Chains A and B, each alone.
Chain A
């Protein structure tokens, strides 16, 4: 579908663009003016999903339900923050409840049971006018290292990573402009980096976890996958907010993160996290160094910074807390239905049940000790930067022990402490796989991270579509 009428809307739209190439921000503008109808746009994306089906990004597509919703939307509307995702079809990771759709978590006993209540995220998306198109592929219980069916749109011999496998693959393949995922260790930003899209993990508690199957309560973060930083801010406008049903939800003043992109805009002062550059594989480090040089050439002030304690301590604290909580989540169901657990999840549950409670409490004491030390690193910087992952998207047949879906470690210091961070693509490297850099902010500094991310995005430019 090519729409000449869209020429007048936004700055990135031209006559030869297909609707599936558009950012959500541009589509919302076109829909508000009646230059495109919600149903036309939806049909364009459904056709794209069929045409690029080899990506296997979806567990469930509710095409008929989406059509019914699109048909009910008015053909024009007033563009307003409260309806910021008007007419935008969205895919949600298959651990997030959407009323009327199953939440399988890649676990067979759940696969055909539709849930009857929206998660907090789904409820907010609906309220913002979005169309909840379906469920994207997730690793089992967001904890499996087994290869998903989803393929990396940039190279089908490689995975998109996990556990949020389908959302970034679908966004990269231009099947949807916005996907929703979760991150407990590295499950959102790492796959987003592997797929060459923008991934944003808001601060802990910024977005409600109500109605999302838990992996580790103290580290679970819902987040967004988009093709632009602007769309990430738009999506955050829709899903952020306090939710009394989530005991970890943060009290917060409603913010407009889209206008925050302008308000917070400035040439940034950045801290280059030496520990992570040193640990990256050579190809990743070289690409990240080149990206940092481009930021410096564009005017950014960049200093080297170090983590306040050893990376191994951060990894150990996070691993023990995550696994202790995951064992508590799974032990009863595992005892009754272990045959349905995938081998790597089974090994994780069984190992975690062996951990003594004292070790878990010791790790949480270290979380309190480490937090102010880590926060102090941000005092002199707008944000920190580092490679998003130590590696590139692994091959589908990778058998590298516990890292079969890639190395999660470069997300741990930020996820463990609930800090907001964003990944954005910096180019394409060997094997046609994307390179990426992450931008990390202090606690609740989501607007700052998005603004710095957009400044970096303008330096790096945007990637083309991986599929024609």
Chain B
């Protein structure tokens, strides 16, 4: 799947559905519709929020419990 903030939700859904059909077959892809629509929406949302190279690295478990010992 191409990752770009310029894609629409429908384009992302179509890309995921093509991948699903190639991987799991048409019948399974039909069963996956709700999950694929959720994936398309969430993928699109994340792609609207790009980060530059020097911005945040991925989080780690320690972020959770070191952020506010009180």
Taking beta carbons and an 8 Å cutoff, which residues of A are in contact with B? 203-206, 218, 247-248, 250-252, 312-313, 315-317, 319-320, 323, 343-344, 346-348, 350-356, 358-359, 361-369, 371-372, 375, 378, 401-402, 417-418, 442-445, 448
Q: B51 near A365 (CB under 8 angstroms)?
A: yes
The distance from the CB of A360 to the nearest CB of chain B, in whole angstroms, is 9
Q: Does B11 contact A (CB under 8 A)?
A: no
29 contacts between A and B (CB under 8 A): A205-B61, A218-B59, A247-B61, A252-B65, A316-B41, A316-B43, A316-B45, A320-B42, A346-B31, A347-B34, A351-B38, A354-B1, A354-B19, A356-B3, A358-B3, A359-B46, A362-B46, A364-B58, A365-B51, A365-B57, A368-B56, A368-B63, A369-B55, A375-B68, A378-B68, A443-B64, A443-B69, A444-B68, A444-B70
Given known A203-B64, A319-B38, A350-B23, contact A367–B46 (CB-CB < 8 A): no
Q: Is the CB of A366 within 8 A of B49?
A: yes
A378 to B68, CA, bound (A): 10
Question: What residues of chain A lie closer than 8 Å to B69, measured between beta carbons?
Answer: 443-444
- A401–B32 Cα distance when bound, in Å, is 11
0 or 1 for each of B10-25: is its CB under 8 Å from A? (1 = yes): 0000001001100110
> Across the interface, which residues of B come within 8 angstroms of A218, CB to CB?
59, 61
Q: Which of B32, B46, B61, B70 is close to A350, meaning CB atoms less than 8 Å apart?
A: B32
Q: Are B35 and A350 in contact (CB under 8 A)?
A: yes
Residue of B nearest to A251 (CB): B65
A447 to chain B: closest residue by CB: B70
- Chain A residue numbers with a CB within 8 Å of B55 are 365, 369
Chain B interface residues toward A at CB < 8 A: 1, 3, 16, 19-20, 23-24, 28, 31-32, 34-36, 38-39, 41-43, 45-46, 49, 51, 55-59, 61, 63-65, 67-70
14 more A-B residue pairs beyond the given contacts A351-B38, A358-B3, with a C-beta to C-beta distance below 8 A: A205-B61, A320-B42, A347-B34, A350-B32, A351-B35, A359-B46, A365-B55, A365-B58, A366-B51, A368-B58, A378-B68, A418-B65, A444-B70, A445-B68
Q: Collect the chain A residues with CB atoms within 8 Å of residue B38's CB.
A: 319, 351, 402
Determine which of B1, B20, B28, B61 lies in contact with A356 in the assembled complex, contact meaning CB atoms within 8 Å: B1
- In the bound assembly, the distance between CA atoms of A366 and B59 in angstroms comes to 8
Contact A323 B39, beta carbon cutoff 8 Å: yes
Verify A353–B57 contact, CB threshold 8 A. no
